[in-house]
Amino acid sequence: MKLKEYQQKRASLDDAYLLGDISLSDYARDSINLDFKYNQFMYEDENYKQYKEITSPNRNGLEEVIFVPMKKNSKCRRNGKLIKCPKCGKTQKVYHLAWSALNCQSCSWMSNKMDWLIERGTHEK
């Protein structure tokens, strides 16, 4: 969804609510869905840029990080591991896995530990 398309849909949704065509709960639900679709497009575009940087021939020592689903016996070493948000795809570093749920720092999405993706270790298959 492009920015202009998002702005047009947002304006029509606001007008429908102000004119009384839709209820407050419908407005809130549609607003959240619209924002999620727009943000998802933005994150996909950002992920494509990161992928393009990784696969370019002159990447200046960048290493591709492979993420795998979190397991019950996943561990973090002394220097931590990267985990990836299941909703937005942003990464953050953790130094322990002694938690059952976690908020994403970029999108504030709360999800269970097993939903997150963790950086694959050097000895894992």
**Domains of the chain, residue spans:** 3-55, 67-119
The answer to pTM > 0.75 is: no
Q: How far apart are CA 17 and CA 28, in angstroms?
A: 10
Q: Give me the pLDDT at residue 90, please.
A: 87
Answer yes or no: is pLDDT of 40 > 80.
Answer: no
Phi-psi region of 44 (alpha: psi -120 to 50; beta: other; left: phi over 0): alpha
Closest CA to 75 of 121, 112, 114: 121
Q: Give the tens place of pLDDT for each residue, 46-93.
A: 555 555 555 555 555 556 778 888 888 888 888 888 899 888 888 888
Answer yes or no: is pLDDT of 12 > 80.
Answer: yes
Answer yes or no: is pLDDT of 18 > 80.
Answer: yes
**How far are the Cα atoms of 8, 26, 74 from residue 51, in angstroms, in the given order?**
31, 37, 25
Average pLDDT over residues 5-18: 88
Q: Give me the pLDDT at residue 105, please.
A: 85
Residue at token pair 């606001």: 14
Confidence tier at 28 by pLDDT (50, 70, 90): confident
- CA 24-25-29 angle, 5° bins: 115
By DSSP bridging, strand 101-103 and strand 110-112 are antiparallel
SS3 assignment, position 61: coil
Q: Give me the pLDDT at residue 125, please.
A: 55
